[in-house]
Amino acid sequence: MTRSPGGACLAVDMAGGGLPKGLCNNEKMIIRQIAGALGAELHGVDLTQALTPDLQQAIRSALLQHQVIFFRDQDLSPEQFMRFSHTLGQPVEYPFVKGLEGFPCVIEVKKLEHEKVNFGGIWHSDTTYLERPPKGSMLLAKEVPPYGGDTLFANQYLAWESLSDTMKSLLEGLVGISSSAKADVSKTREDRIKSDGKDSAPKEYLAHHPLVRTHPETGRKALYVNVAHTSGIVGMTDAESTPILNFLFQHQVKPEFTCRFVWQPHSLAVWDNRCTQHNPVNDYHGFRRVMHRITLAGDQPV
């Protein structure tokens, strides 16, 4: 990898200099960091084509380094989207919403013109109410509004590392209670459950996870609570846990920990749920926004 004169772009040379060969027809994948905290756009990659093992590894490495990566102009069919997802992990079904016909792991995330509430419109890490929450999520833009509908992402490594030593000592060893039934997030999926819901889905999922988890691949610690799903702390009363959680909910999404992605048709975002949160901004009433999403199987947080 080489740094550009401006310091913002990295070119991964797949054709020479002792580095891996075979980046489609373009010879270079360009990595352009979009914010100080996290996030990078990857250019020079055609995901409609099969990727070489070296390119797959370069993309996985970029995801681990930048926590969320973005691609532009990827007009993927569900079959192509699924093929790419297998290079990053194992796709799994979403608990509450049915997948596309023939593609049960690809769900439609949409807000229609007459709807006021967007799907998942709150800061969160995906489905932390499961015993084994997904390691990653992938979102592909099919239809976007003329303005608005951006997605915010927040770096939970930085959220943890910026805490005082005293607060770190308090949090280490504590276990959070995650629920799928917290009122604020439940409202954000009501429209989709009505139109595309699974009849077999239970009313509530509940899981216990550490407030601070260690990333299984990088070894870094990340804050692992979120306002959408974390409802309490094991062994504490609500009166004791609420002030701690409310502080963390505000702290972990400070502007300096975030990046913002402006969607275009056929844009694709891939993020690491183990060390990030995201929040789709609901500022496009009267317009349609349709995305395809795949989630990737994860492990039990420790």
Q: Which domain holds residue 220?
A: 88-296
Residue 214 lies in a domain: yes
- Please give the model's pTM, rounded to 2 decimal places: 0.88
Residue 50 lies in a domain: no
Per-residue b or e along 14-43, where b marks 16 or more CB atoms closer than 10 Å to that residue's CB: beeeeeeeebbeeeebbbbbbbebbbbbbb
Residue 8 lies in a domain: no
Number of DSSP helices (H) and strands (E) in the chain, helices first = 7, 19
Q: How far apart are CA 263 and CA 145, in angstroms?
A: 9
Provide the CATH number for the domain around residue 245: 3.60.130.10
Residue 38 lies in a domain: no
Residue 103 lies in a domain: yes
Question: What's the structural domain count of the chain?
Answer: 1
Residue 240 lies in a domain: yes
Give the other-Cβ count within 10 Å of 200's Cβ. Answer: 7
Classify 294 as helix, strand or coil: strand
* Residue numbers annotated as active site: 124, 126, 278, 293
Residue 26 lies in a domain: no
Residue 168 lies in a domain: yes
| Residuewise pLDDT in 10s, the chain (302 residues) | 433 333 355 655 444 333 333 333 335 899 999 999 999 999 999 999 999 999 999 999 999 999 999 999 999 999 999 999 999 999 999 988 899 999 999 999 999 999 999 988 999 999 999 999 999 999 999 999 999 999 999 999 999 999 999 999 999 999 999 999 886 665 555 555 566 665 665 678 999 999 999 999 999 999 999 999 999 999 999 999 999 999 999 999 999 999 999 999 999 999 999 999 999 999 999 999 999 999 999 999 99
Position of tokens 């951006």? 150
Classify 224 as helix, strand or coil: coil
Count how many residues are written for the chain.
302
